[in-house]
Structure 1
Amino acid sequence: MVMEETSKTTPPNSVVSEFEGTLLSSDDPFSYFMLVAFDASGVIRFALLLFLWPVTALLNLFGYKNAALKLMIFVATAGLRESGIELVARDVLPKFYMDDLSMDTWNVFSSCKKRIVVTRMPRVMVERFAKQYLIAEEVIGTELIVNRFGFVTGLIQETDIDATAFIRVASLFVDQKPHLGLGRPPVSTTFISLCEEQIHEPVQRNQRVEVQPPKPVIFHDGGLMKRPTPATAVIILLWLPFGIILAVIRILGAFIFPLWLMPYVITLSFCRVTVKGKPPRTKAGNAGGVLFVCNHRTMIDPLVIAYALGRRIPAVLISDLSRFYNILSPVPIVRFTRNRDVDAVIMKRELSKGDLVVCPEGSICHQPFVLRFSAMFAELTDRIVPVAVNCRFGFFQRPLRSWNGLYLFFLFMNPTIEYEITFLDQLPLEATCSSGKSPYDVANHVQRILAETLGFECTQLGRKAKYTVLT
């Protein structure tokens, strides 16, 4: 379908855009309700919603779109606390929305100063993403009914969703019409008919106008790594019982068998570890150990580095990590207290005994970014070996608000796990604090070369920023 294009040379001042099928490439919100069901409730609700997908698909096919939407909303949200849905909307959904964002639509949408987003989904599911990442001024969506105890009833306030959206858009533009409307046809009974100019999906990109890309989603949480379309969700549910068995086998293999058996355990459990570069050999004497500094992709990064080196090397982990890891870990775990002076003493003591692995990011980042490094490691030694770590796995990570000991179990439930470990050259003396460089310069340098090796981006956001965004 071709759009009615504006002939003006200056960009329009205001835009009203449909979310599904316009700002997002996909026009079916089913997978986003599946994410809410999984992370706000669990596998049972996830399976129930998937079981009802043929019903919603038939309702959509025969033109009962409002009924299909209301059924999805009811199954995904009934009985949940509103705060639980807000948590999923903040921590889980932005990554999947951004992956599905139409850049051609963004090109037009972002050229306007006043941006309004209209969605048929509950407003609470879209508002955080639209305002934080798309810089929208207002989000118009369906409103969930919440009882006096704070639980969502599964019902919405609107009887006619399209008519209500029309009225709410009109109330935002009392003095003048919105300049530009983006949406799917037909437009006769929807908000887009209020706009002076109308662009129907698919939106064609204006190559003459350069716009900034949307703000990236750096922090992401949640139990699923892939958007659960109906086909993907079926595969996930069918895999679950096998994944549980495989996770038990992998945990026993990784944390009970000695390191010399690891190659066989890894191969038999559908894992693969690729090692690049040459790590330095251990030197005899009292010179102290090498500090292996790596980015943080999963909780087993130190274990995989120990496997790549072929020896048991202590790993530094944060103090609030579950003691479950101490029980099972085949490598010694050194716990940080988050008291800088105390932690510096601990690290110096461990380095005096031998090699040590540390993740200065202080928190896992699943997105293609390297978080800001704590500079403390640079103050303690000049024998620093950067290690670039990348990990690819299919379906699962730790669900929201679950015990952090489950992270390991969900990671090992994935059908395949692929690790790539790249040992870079030890930092030359002139690149360390011994040559007079500040610890912050050294930390930033290591962060930068790790990001370049992995093809990731550096960010000045760190662990504290992550917990500010995700809490």
Structure 2
Amino acid sequence: MESVVSELEGTLLKDSDTFSYFMLVAFEASGLFRFALLLILWPLIRLTDSLGMKDTGLKIMIFVSLAGVAKSEIESVARAVLPKFYMDDLHMKAWRLFSSYDKRVVATKMPRIMVERFVKEHLRADEVVGTELCFNRFGYATGSVVDDSISQRVADIFGQQGAPTLGMARSSHHSFMQLCKEQIVPPFVTRQKQEQEALRPLPVIFHDGRLVKRPTASTSLLILLWMPIGIILAIIRITLGFTLPFWVIPYVSRLFGGKVVVKGTPPPPPLNGNSGVLFVCTHRTLMDPVVLSSVLHRQVPAVTYSISRLTEILSPIPTVRLTRIRNVDAEKIKEQLSKGDLVVCPEGTTCREPFLLRFSGLFAELTDRIVPVAMNYRVGFFHATTARGWKGLDPIFFFMNPRPVYEVTFLNQLPVEATCSSGKSPHDVANYVQRLLASTLGFECTNFTRKDKYRILAGNDGIVSYTSFAERMNKLVRTFKPFLH
């Protein structure tokens, strides 16, 4: 059996600097104060590294970002936040070489708890050797680590199996490299076997956290300097949304850095006595229905579920709160459609990555006047939705971005033969609309649901594992792929 041991930083990941990952943990697990403190200490950390005292710099980062943080909170950040940033920095050639071996071990100087989830589930590693954190009896990190040799622990893993076949690292002087039969340093060359199989790591579909970009020292400084300005800007933008007529908002928003790009032709408002149109939208942020209403120049009620009361209060459009009781919700939607237009997001929850979750078929049962709308957005600093934080802050974080951009694409109203009126099942109609919207945005369709998202982010492995979800997703993508071209 062929085996490989690979360094994580600078090998499987392109960047060898771990500072930004500790900044992420500091921000998401503890807040702005610890984030700022770690940034202030960055020059000292760099000085210790330049003097060859790399363990000192690492211990400073570990202590400042993790001391006093509950183990469960560290695990939550490692599960829901960090994988997205690891994946963005993944060195694909190194990973393909790594994945072509039968037994795969990753060595890292970061705490094992910060990388294990990503490395095992997305990179398909068998074992992880990293720095071990110390926790007190109450489950809080002390900020200290267990001093242990990485090379010794790698040797213990292989035991009687013999030496690893290949060692991958930035330098042949890395401690575990001396244990390996072969050694390789960058640039990495993909083996022919792996090129033929064209494997890819399991994608990160669900992730959480407020920060859009990996907080390197320069990016972190920009974020800290921008936040006071961003808060003032958010207050101004929200106030204008409350006070100005809807038809004015798209024009005024440009004066304050916002932009809305509209494609396609929106339908006219319903005539008196006629039922309204059901706008079926992709769900990117909580702002989707509000942006749609501003484009239509009128207040269109939106179907909501599980949003905070503060968000409802701040909302400039009417909201229709669902109960998740099917017959009750159906009556609510029918009643609203009899009065006029309505917005619904059948995914039931937001997804940040270029994937669409499974569409609920309820909307297809209630009307044949369906207009699909592809919504997408771009922000610079802060994500507008979160599963871990207080949802009431979601619109505020969205408006804190320097130049938020929304893209709204209206598709043609579904022909009658594509609706339930022609005898199609709600499930078929929902899948058809999902494929239309995915094709418009260049996204991939999945079979994931709202429950799947929160189970994955919550780490309920007793119920389901991320790997099984990703395998289901890949199977569904293969099924839908012919429809996306």
TM-score (norm 1): 0.94
Distance in 1 (CA, whole Å) between partners of 2:278 and 2:303 is 11
| Pairing 1:225-374 to 2, within 5 Å after superposition | 225-318=212-305, 320-374=306-360
Counterpart of 2:369 in structure 1 is: 383
Counterpart of 1:68 in structure 2 is: 57
Cα offset, 1:325, TM superposition: 2.4
Cα offset, 1:177, TM superposition: 1.3
Cα offset, 1:366, TM superposition: 1.1
1:168 to 153, 161, 174: 153
Distance in 2 (CA, whole Å) between partners of 1:204 and 1:67 is 34
| Pairing 1:8-19 to 2, within 5 Å after superposition | 13-19=2-8
Distance in 2 (CA, whole Å) between partners of 1:157 and 1:280 is 64
The residue type equivalent to 1:62 in the other structure is L
Cα offset, 1:365, TM superposition: 0.9
TM-score (norm 2): 0.91
Distance in 1 (CA, whole Å) between partners of 2:295 and 2:48 is 54
2:130 to 125, 130, 141: 141
Distance in 2 (CA, whole Å) between partners of 1:400 and 1:69 is 30
2:18 to 29, 39, 48: 29
Q: Percent identity?
A: 59
Distance in 1 (CA, whole Å) between partners of 2:365 and 2:165 is 57
Counterpart of 1:5 in structure 2 is: none
Counterpart of 1:3 in structure 2 is: none
Counterpart of 2:198 in structure 1 is: 211
SS in 2 for 1:223: coil
Deviations 1:380-407 (A, max 9, x none): 1111000000100001125663221011
The residue type equivalent to 1:309 in the other structure is L
Distance in 1 (CA, whole Å) between partners of 2:411 and 2:287 is 20
Cα offset, 1:119, TM superposition: 0.6
Counterpart of 2:87 in structure 1 is: 98
The residue type equivalent to 1:53 in the other structure is W
Cα offset, 1:113, TM superposition: 2.1
**Quick check: which one's helix share is greater?**
2
**Aligned pair 1:178/2:167, yes or no?**
no
Change (3 A) 1:400 1:122: farther
Cα offset, 1:275, TM superposition: 0.7
SS in 2 for 1:170: helix
Cα offset, 1:201, TM superposition: 2.4
Distance in 2 (CA, whole Å) between partners of 1:226 and 1:64 is 28
Distance in 2 (CA, whole Å) between partners of 1:326 and 1:26 is 42
Distance in 2 (CA, whole Å) between partners of 1:41 and 1:195 is 40
Q: Over aligned residue pairs, what C-alpha RMSD do you find?
A: 1.4
Distance in 1 (CA, whole Å) between partners of 2:359 and 2:129 is 39
Deviations 1:10-34 (A, max 9, x none): xx72211111000100001000000
More off after superposition, 21-30 vs 108-117 = 108-117
Deviations 1:417-460 (A, max 9, x none): 00110000011111111111111111111111111111111111
Maintained 8 Å contact 2:163/2:181 = yes
SS in 2 for 1:174: helix
More off after superposition, 136-145 vs 173-182 = 173-182
Counterpart of 1:396 in structure 2 is: 382
The residue type equivalent to 2:233 in the other structure is L
Cα offset, 1:285, TM superposition: 4.8
2:409 to 408, 411, 422: 422
* Alignment size in residue pairs: 454
Maintained 8 Å contact 1:258/1:330 = no
Counterpart of 2:433 in structure 1 is: 446
Change (3 A) 1:263 1:399: closer
